[in-house]
Amino acid sequence: MFFRMIRGTLFRQWKKMLMIAFTIALGASLATAMLSVMLDVGDKVNQELKTYGANITVVPKDSSILNNLYDVEGGDFGSSYLKEEELGKIKTIFWAFNIVDYAPFVNTEAKLDDGTKVNVVGSWFNHHMELPTGEKLDAGITSMRSWWEIKDGKWIDEQKSDNHNVAMVGTAVAEKAGVKAGDALHLTGSAGDRTVRVVGIFDAGGDEDDQIFMPLNTAQALSDLNGRVDSIEVSALTTPDNELAVKAAKEGPSSLTVSQYETWYCTAYVSSICYQIQEVITDSVASPVRQVADSEGAIMEKTELLMILITILSLIGAALGICNLVTASVMERSSEIGLMKAIGAQNGSITGLVLTEIFITAIIGGVAGFFIGFGFAQIIGQTVFGSAITMRAMVIPIVAVLVVLVTLAGSIPAIRMLLRLRPAEVLHGR
């Protein structure tokens, strides 16, 4: 009989029940969408912040002072260099998955035909890598210098066949030398000369405007620097620093206890990623670029906090909305409940009946809402970030608990209130 009554309400009052299910679905979808977006927004914003370029630089031990302070003439920097063959190892560290991009640099000098010296930088543009893990990555400055404005021509495409004797020229150099995209440029280095085709002219709004960029091997050949790399810029997704990370960065990982060390090593702090890079690249010093790393941390923290607060607001809104409607719809059934009491139903059985009905409705609404919400999250992800929002497993229990709690909170006070009424009052139209 119990189930018959429930079936009766669900089927005969389907319009009302549909409305409750609909509202619960709305609330659940709101919660799902906001939670999914909130949990993923850190990663997404982090990706976006990659437009600021590298947040880690890797240089040979003891060499940075040499070339920055003493302005050593191009060519031989002594024994301080990084090995080109080790570059791939960066993608093998513990946090390899968080390394989104990186590019090696080799700096040298060359003479133009009119005798002027220019800075030549060899690097990757969109260097294609296929990793042992099966992951494919196009790394290089095409993505790491996204702020460059290409004034003429286009970016160098390393994956094309004629990809060796090409160059991109900074606006300042281009102006001085009077070259434009498509021109040939003859460069004489200390160990050889090359005629390169100018593929693009760029405006970087900084020192790089005085430089010529070309593929790594071409630049190396100019000054007999084969296999050598001066520095590596790494763009990694990181977790904003906390006290532990600050301590590790300041006092060195050796100052940490074993368990602290493990936590630190297994968290994507910028300092632990630096440490891991130093482990795989011989004689290297990896340090965070404060300008990028710190700002990233601040912005991500703010964005996440903002999203958390908006999520909380919408969760409260959804909860109160559902609660409200459930209360309203339970109150509406006063005469029915009065009747059931009049024919001798126990309070417990009435409560059970009403709750079961509401819960069946809530489950239907909640499941529907979950999928709708997931859809909303994807719309947000695709529209704003152009990529899908990852579904976190933890959203499901949160939404489920929310729906259950809110439905309970909405129905129980109303049921209790109705149970206090005397059947006669309810039946004889108040």
Residue numbers 2-21 binding other proteins by CB under 8 A: 16, 19
CB of 416 to other proteins, least distance (A): 13
3-state secondary structure of 233: strand
With CB under 8 A as the contact rule, the residue among 6, 13, 43, 48 that binds other proteins is: 48
Q: Other C-beta atoms within 10 Å of 40: how many?
A: 21
| Residue 411 lies near other proteins (rule: CB under 8 A) | no
| Residue 65 lies near other proteins (rule: CB under 8 A) | yes
The answer to whether 46 and 296 have CB atoms below 8 angstroms apart is yes
| Residue 154 lies near other proteins (rule: CB under 8 A) | no
| Residue 229 lies near other proteins (rule: CB under 8 A) | no
| Residue 82 lies near other proteins (rule: CB under 8 A) | no
Q: What CA–CA distance (Å, rounded) separates 192 from 75?
A: 12
Residue 429, token pair as written in the block: 């139209």
| Residue 33 lies near other proteins (rule: CB under 8 A) | yes
Residue 420, token pair as written in the block: 């206090």
Residues 98-137 that bind other proteins (CB under 8 A): none
Q: Other C-beta atoms within 10 Å of 189: how many?
A: 22
Pick the closer one to other proteins by CB: 218 or 327.
327
Q: What CA–CA distance (Å, rounded) separates 116 from 373?
A: 62
With CB under 8 A as the contact rule, the residue among 131, 184, 266, 313 that binds other proteins is: 313
Q: What CA–CA distance (Å, rounded) separates 186 from 188?
A: 7
| Residue 420 lies near other proteins (rule: CB under 8 A) | no
Give the list of residues 6+ apart from residue 82 with CB closer than 8 angstroms, or none. 58, 59, 60, 104, 228, 229, 230, 231, 232, 281, 282, 283, 284
| Residue 283 lies near other proteins (rule: CB under 8 A) | no
Q: What CA–CA distance (Å, rounded) separates 322 from 25?
A: 9
Q: Which residue has the tokens 């763009």?
A: 235
36 by Cβ neighbours in 10 Å (0-12 / 13-18 / 19+) ranks as buried
Q: What CA–CA distance (Å, rounded) separates 327 from 410?
A: 5
Pick the closer one to other proteins by CB: 148 or 275.
148
Pick the closer one to other proteins by CB: 112 or 398.
398
With CB under 8 A as the contact rule, the residue among 23, 218, 220, 223 that binds other proteins is: 23
CB of 223 to other proteins, least distance (A): 22
Q: What CA–CA distance (Å, rounded) separates 40 from 61?
A: 37
Q: What CA–CA distance (Å, rounded) separates 202 from 404?
A: 58
Q: Which stretch binds other proteins (CB under 8 A): 34-42, 85-93, 182-190, 354-362?
A: 34-42
Pick the closer one to other proteins by CB: 95 or 202.
202
Residues 160-189: x/- map of binding to other proteins (CB under 8 A)?
A: ------------------------------
Pick the closer one to other proteins by CB: 129 or 421.
421
Q: What CA–CA distance (Å, rounded) separates 286 from 336?
A: 73
Pick the closer one to other proteins by CB: 192 or 205.
205
| Residue 380 lies near other proteins (rule: CB under 8 A) | yes
With CB under 8 A as the contact rule, the residue among 57, 171, 231, 411 that binds other proteins is: 57
| Residue 27 lies near other proteins (rule: CB under 8 A) | yes
For 296-384, list the strands marked E by DSSP: none
| Residue 43 lies near other proteins (rule: CB under 8 A) | no
With CB under 8 A as the contact rule, the residue among 10, 17, 39, 52 that binds other proteins is: 52
Pick the closer one to other proteins by CB: 316 or 394.
316
Pick the closer one to other proteins by CB: 328 or 360.
328
Q: What CA–CA distance (Å, rounded) separates 422 from 419?
A: 8
With CB under 8 A as the contact rule, the residue among 205, 226, 227, 255 that binds other proteins is: 205
The answer to whether 151 and 204 have CB atoms below 8 angstroms apart is no
Q: Which stretch binds other proteins (CB under 8 A): 147-155, 163-171, 185-193, 389-397?
A: 147-155
The alpha carbon dihedral of 59, 62, 67, 72 has a sign of negative
Q: Which stretch binds other proteins (CB under 8 A): 96-104, 110-118, 161-169, 321-329?
A: 321-329
Residue 115, token pair as written in the block: 């005798």
CB of 178 to other proteins, least distance (A): 22
| Residue 222 lies near other proteins (rule: CB under 8 A) | no
The answer to whether 234 and 277 have CB atoms below 8 angstroms apart is yes
| Residue 388 lies near other proteins (rule: CB under 8 A) | no
3-state secondary structure of 196: strand
Residues 338-377 that bind other proteins (CB under 8 A): 376
**Amino acid found at 283:** D
